[in-house]
Each structure stands twice: as structure tokens, then as C-alpha cells.
Structure 1
Amino acid sequence: MNNLFEKYNGLPVAQRIIIPLILMVVIGAGFWFLLIDPVRQDIDKQRQQLTEIDREKGRLEQLKKNRAVVLAQLEKLKRQLLIAQEKLPQDAEIPSLLQRIHNQAKTAGLEIMIFKRLPERPQQFYVEIPVEMELSGTYDELANFLYYIGRMTRIVNMKDLSMVRVGQGMASDGELKIKTRGTTFRYAKPNEG
């Protein structure tokens, strides 16, 4: 070791200054790359994660604030769905609905000659259920029947209405032969629409 110091002391002054500087730079670089830089990179990574967590926290807080609004909208949609389900019957309710339409015609005083359920026509979200009807009665009885149909909770459309007077001339008793097509609806099952 003394030999090393003697060689060092034998060097010119410029080299004796440069060698410790180089050693300090090497030690400093080693210290930097082995200790400080990994810690700095870890700190940067942690800051990024903290920023992302803060962003996510803000988003979740916003969702929490909106939760009440979303729940209120959900309740409103549920009520609307119940109302729609009341107006659009399920499969099992169709026969009783058609029976009610039939009974409404009788209640109004119309004579039912034909009451025939036609094939269903699937649409995107619902299925149309047409019913062909031939009725006999007066104009007032027909008006009452249409009024009763319009007051039902279920949706029933009456279209293609044609009326022909049964009797001829002035002696006619006001009897009409009525042909019409009623259409009611039901929800389409997911694979139907």
C-alpha cells in the first residue's frame, strides 16, 4: 500500500488532481446509477400510479354523486316498463284479451258473425295479433263498441272498417253489416323479433 502512495506522490500535480476527480466521478456515477436512479424511477412510477388513482377516485366520486340520479331514472324506467307490460300482454293473457274484445262487442249490442284470430306478425320489439271480425248492428252499437275498446287498458287498434247497410230504401231499420280488423300486441320474446 505504501508503494501505491509513493507512486501516486511521484505523479505530476495535474495527474494527482485528475485521479481523485475521476475516482469521485466514478463513485458518484455508481452511487447515482445503483442507488439514486432506481429510487427516483420508483418515485416517478409511484407518482404516476398516484395520479391514476386520483383520477379513478375522482371518476368514482362522480359516479357516487350520479348514483342517486341513475337510481331515480332506473325507478322511472321500471314504472314505465310496468305500464308498458300492462298495455302489452304476455302470451298467456292473449286468449282472455281476445275474449274481452268479443264480450265488448256483445255488450255493445253487436251480433258477432265472425271472430277469427289471424296469424301473428312479429315486429322488432313486439308481435301483432290481428283478429278479423264481421259484426252486425246499428251505428250506435258500433260506436259504443269502439268506445269500449278504446277504454281498455290493453292496446287494441281497429282498422279496415267497412260498413254496409243491410236493408234497402227508407224502410231500413238502420242495421249495418260491419267488417273490421282489430290488432292487439304482445311483447316479442328475444328470439322472435
Structure 2
Amino acid sequence: MTMNDLIDRFNAYPLGQKVLAVFILMIGIFVGFLTLIYRPMQDEIAAAETQRSELQRELGRLKEISESRAEVVARLNDLERQLHIAREKLPVSAEIPSLLQRIHNQAKTAGLEINRFRRNEDIASEDFIEIPVEMELVGSFDEVANFFYFVGRMTRIVNVKDINVSRQASGLVADGQLEVSAKATTYRWKAN
């Protein structure tokens, strides 16, 4: 049967049957379209929308993690910087000879005469070790003040205590020189 035969047979039917046949054919095409194309597409669209919303939630979570990571990294960098500063002030290693040499050199630079500069026995406490140094210096008020100013400006922690100041007498008249005895103490972390 050819296409012409089908068209001739179709034309032989009355108009009502032709309209009904075309209507049934259109309904069949519509149902076929719905079941074979439209519904699977809608299911794919719904699945894609679900996946999209899940991915957006995941993206939001990852952005939040990224932002908090940036904050954590910034905080970590700040803490590392603070630790570096603390280690300069209170190091773990015993770089004490160079520190004592710097103090001794500063006393000389300030113009002080050093009568005694002696390191005493270390004193251990729970977290750190005290390193005391006894010193006796002779110089003018300005020289002594400059020396203590330098010690106070050092990056390392150095405490000066037990300061005794007396005027040095030479003959009948004091010449303005001061005799200073003090105990300087610096610290270092106790090695665990």
C-alpha cells in the first residue's frame, strides 16, 4: 500500500470521520510527545534544578570556608609574628654571651668605666631561666642615664634592679662622677 492509496482511502471517509481521525491522530501525537519527550525533559530539568541548588549550597559552604580560612591564615600569621617578637625578647637558645657583650659595649660607648661585669649563676623557674649579671659602673649622670636608656630600649627583656648610686669622692671635693652598682637580669625560655 502506497501513500497515494492511503490518501485516497482517507478522502473516501465522510468529513466527520476525517475530523475525528485527525483529532485522534493529534491526541496520539500529543500523548506521545508528553510521554516520550516532555516528561523526561521535565524530569531532567527537575534533577538539574535539584543538582544546581545543591551545588549552590556547596558553593556557599565553600565560600564560607574560604573566608574563614582567610581569617584563620591572617590570625595564624599574626600569631607567628607575635611569637617571633616574643622569641626576640625571650629566646629559647642561650645567645646570652652576645647579649652580655652588647650591654658591656654599650656601657663603654656611653663613656662609663666598668669596674665589675660578672655573670652569676642562672636561676631556673617553671617556664624560663633568669640570667643575672652584677655590674659596677663609674661615670657622669648623663652617661649612666644614657646607658640605662639603651638597656630599656633593647628588644630583649632586661631588668635592672638593686641599683645603688653614690657620688665618687676624690680628695676634698666630689668631681660629679657617680658609682653605680646594679644587678641586670635577662631571661630565656627553658628548653623542654
TM-score for both structures, normalised by structure 2:
0.61
Please give the root-mean-square deviation of Cα atoms over the aligned residues, in Å: 2.3
Structure 1 letter corresponding to 2:180: I
Structure 1 letter corresponding to 2:183: R
- Is 2:121 the counterpart of 1:119? yes
Counterparts of 1:93-132 in structure 2, within 5 Å, are: 93-132=95-134
In structure 2, C-alpha distance between the alignment counterparts of 1:77 and 1:127, rounded to whole Å: 23
The offset of 1:127, in angstroms, is 1.6
The offset of 1:65, in angstroms, is 5.5
In structure 2, C-alpha distance between the alignment counterparts of 1:66 and 1:125, rounded to whole Å: 33
1:173 to 172, 175, 190: 175
In structure 2, C-alpha distance between the alignment counterparts of 1:63 and 1:187, rounded to whole Å: 36
- Is 2:82 the counterpart of 1:80? yes
In structure 2, C-alpha distance between the alignment counterparts of 1:136 and 1:111, rounded to whole Å: 5
The offset of 1:133, in angstroms, is 0.6
Q: Which residue of 2 aligns with 1:89?
A: 91
- Which 10-residue stretch deviates more, 164-173 or 97-106? 164-173
The offset of 1:77, in angstroms, is 0.6
1:189 to 185, 188, 191: 191
The offset of 1:141, in angstroms, is 1.1
Q: Which residue of 1 aligns with 2:144?
A: 142
Gaps of 5+ in 2: 1-57
TM-score for both structures, normalised by structure 1:
0.61
1:71 to 73, 78, 85: 73
The offset of 1:182, in angstroms, is 0.4
In structure 2, C-alpha distance between the alignment counterparts of 1:89 and 1:65, rounded to whole Å: 34
The offset of 1:168, in angstroms, is 6.8
Residue by residue over 1:76-125, the C-alpha shift from the partner in whole angstroms, topping out at 9 and shown as x without a partner, is 11010111111223434110000000111111111111111111122333
Larger Rg belongs to: 2
Structure 2 letter corresponding to 1:138: S
Q: Which residue of 1 aligns with 2:154?
A: 152
The offset of 1:136, in angstroms, is 1.2
| Alignment size in residue pairs | 132
User: Which structure has greater strand proportion?
Assistant: 2
Question: What is the SS of the residue equivalent to 2:155?
Answer: coil
Question: What is the SS of the residue equivalent to 1:109?
Answer: coil
In structure 2, C-alpha distance between the alignment counterparts of 1:178 and 1:75, rounded to whole Å: 43
In structure 1, C-alpha distance between the alignment counterparts of 2:92 and 2:190, rounded to whole Å: 9
Asked if 1 retains the 8 angstrom alpha-carbon contact of 2:92 and 2:191, the reply is no
In structure 2, C-alpha distance between the alignment counterparts of 1:150 and 1:170, rounded to whole Å: 35
In structure 1, C-alpha distance between the alignment counterparts of 2:180 and 2:84, rounded to whole Å: 35
